[in-house]
Amino acid sequence: MKIGTKFYPLFGVLGLVVVWYLGVLSEIVDPILLPSPGQTLAAIYNGMVGGELLFDFLRTIERTAYSILIASVIAIPLGIFLGSSENLYRSVEFVVDFFRSTPASALFPLFLVIFGVGDQTKILVASFGAALVILFNVAYGVMNARETRLLAAKVMGASRFRVLTDVMLMESMPQTFVGLRNGVSLALVIVIVAEMFIGSVDGLGYRVINAQMLFQMPDMYAAIFVSGALGYGFNLLFLTLEKRFVHWSGK
Amino acid sequence: MQVKPIEQRDADYLMDDAHVTIRGLSKKFGDVVIYDNFDFDIPRNKITTVFGPNGCGKSTIINMIADLMPRDAGEILINGKPVRETRIGYVFQNYREALFPWLRAIDNIRYPLQFLNLSKAEQKQRVDKLVEYFGVKIDLNRYPYQMSGGQQQLVSIMRSLVVEPEVLFLDEPFSALDYEMTLMMRDQLQKVFMETKTTMVLVSHDLEEAIYLADWVLLLSRHPAQVADFVNFDLPRPRHADSVIDPHFVEVKASCLETFQREVRKG
């Protein structure tokens, strides 16, 4: 029985495919709007093996990766800096929370005017959204560093700077990874939406909207599933990194 | 800085060859006066244990000596110098939150050495000596979270001793451990003391433990804390499980308990 438990997720997938098939067979949904699982799988395969879908998939990865990189480079040091002084963070907390709550998609027109319709805009809007999520988490991670650990470092003779680098920084790591995971899923959402915008010529968002306009439903479903897999993959990647670099998290 | 000369002292628990001198110490938490113009001397090369009613300021005093907590007034000197200019060790009650979980046990122990300007060889020698003292049989390449509570606290104690501190402070170090482990750790600590003669100040909420480990027991009153009694306990070391039924132990314990109960009733 124990070996069986790891196959449990397969039942859900199987269930979904069965319901999907039944939907197609019973023609509850217009067959044009809902291709069969087989057709969709074929579209994914054809697209990913030497097709255009693979290229779009890679373009979206590239944009999301740049976004998260830019966001991290800015937000992690800034978060540590702001979090190291509670008063400082309290002063900027409202501004951070306000923009964190602002849908980043509302900023597209502004960024389009400033940076034009190229890749820059897509990457920067996604970076903006992700950076605030990361910043907030890093700052909280630093602020919630265990008091005893800070005192332990101090009593052993660590300077304030060393307490920051040796203890606060390490203490903030678990929360930083929470921020990175949330940040990367937000960045992916924004990148895909941005790719649906005017002026886009590639990316999974472009592939979805393009297939829809051409009424190539299997291709559209294929692009949607590949986007889902990408989001899931990013999450998995960061969870793996977290396990490796923050091995003490939750212990 | 000068320590108040002996003729100006008014209590018989102040001594000439003190290791830590506390003069005019005052501390308030909000409106609650914990210490008010408190004077005390901690003897050199002895274990002094601190015992008293809940909330009387047992931990507060070692935190102020170790400069982990600011004081409102007064002067605290270790060997005539402010604490910042001395090497001290401090063992926290909560070992789980005091150790660095991102470092292996051995690297936790090494951590404070980097602030001492020692060569690599000297650092290694320090650690090796310590491991030998304790007769450590645990795998120090593990991370703290892979160890039992007692092992973690042992690592904590080793980390505090590796710098060869002038004074070692311990804040209820064994109170989170099970009884069996507590007994073992008391004896480990006693062994280290007999080897090194490091001045130790140990806060305990367990009177039996306070006496068992002590050369001197400092009994504090309810706040504002005063010295309710300062009791010498000179049963030869090493003490062992049977020591607690030694007539001298029983006598000292009875006397301490009486003082303690008198202080508790006052509140």
CA-wise closest residue to B225 among B55, B51, B34, B39: B34
The answer to whether A65 faces chain B, any CB pair under 8 Å, is no
B91 vs B174: CA distance, rounded Å? 10
Would you call B92 and A158 a contact, using CB atoms and an 8 Å cutoff?
no
Whether residue A235 is contained in a domain is answered as yes
Whether residue A1 is contained in a domain is answered as no
Whether residue A213 is contained in a domain is answered as no
User: B59, B68, B126, B162: which to substitute to probe chain A, counting the most A Cβ within 10 Å?
Assistant: B68
Residue A106, judged by CB atoms within 10 A of its CB (0-12, 13-18, 19+), counts as exposed
- What confidence tens digit (pLDDT) does each residue in A138-172 have? 999 999 999 999 999 999 999 999 998 999 999 99
Q: How many domains does chain A have?
A: 1
Would you call A146 and B97 a contact, using CB atoms and an 8 Å cutoff?
yes
- Cβ contacts (< 8 Å) between B98 and chain A: which residues? 148-149, 152
User: B65, B86, B97, B168: which to substitute to probe chain A, counting the most A Cβ within 10 Å?
Assistant: B97
- The yes-or-no verdict on residue B11 having pLDDT over 70 is no
- Cβ contacts (< 8 Å) between B163 and chain A: which residues? 156-157
- Cβ contacts (< 8 Å) between B159 and chain A: which residues? 156
Q: In the structure encoding, which two tokens stand for residue B242, read together?
A: 């049977």
Whether residue A169 is contained in a domain is answered as yes
pLDDT score recorded for residue A9: 87
CA-wise closest residue to B12 among B229, B215, B199: B229
Q: Which domain CATH number covers A165?
A: 1.10.3720.10
- What confidence tens digit (pLDDT) does each residue in A218-232 have? 999 999 999 999 999
- What confidence tens digit (pLDDT) does each residue in A3-61 have? 678 888 899 999 999 999 998 888 888 888 889 999 999 999 999 998 899 999 999 99
Whether residue A175 is contained in a domain is answered as yes
Across the interface, of B94, B115, B145, the residue whose CB is closest to A156 is B115
Could you tell me the residue range of the domain that residue A178 belongs to?
Answer: 60-198+229-245
Distance (Å) from the C-alpha of residue B163 to the closest C-alpha of chain A? 9
Edge-first strand order for the sheet with B47-51 is B88-91, B167-171, B199-203, B47-51, B216-220, B227-232
Bridge partners of residue B40, in order along the sequence: B22
What percentage of chain A carries pLDDT values higher than 90? 78
Whether residue A204 is contained in a domain is answered as no
Whether residue A7 is contained in a domain is answered as no
Domains of chain B: 6-86+166-266 (3.40.50.300)
Whether residue A9 is contained in a domain is answered as no
- What confidence tens digit (pLDDT) does each residue in B116-168 have? 988 999 999 999 988 888 877 889 999 999 999 989 999 999 999 999 999 99
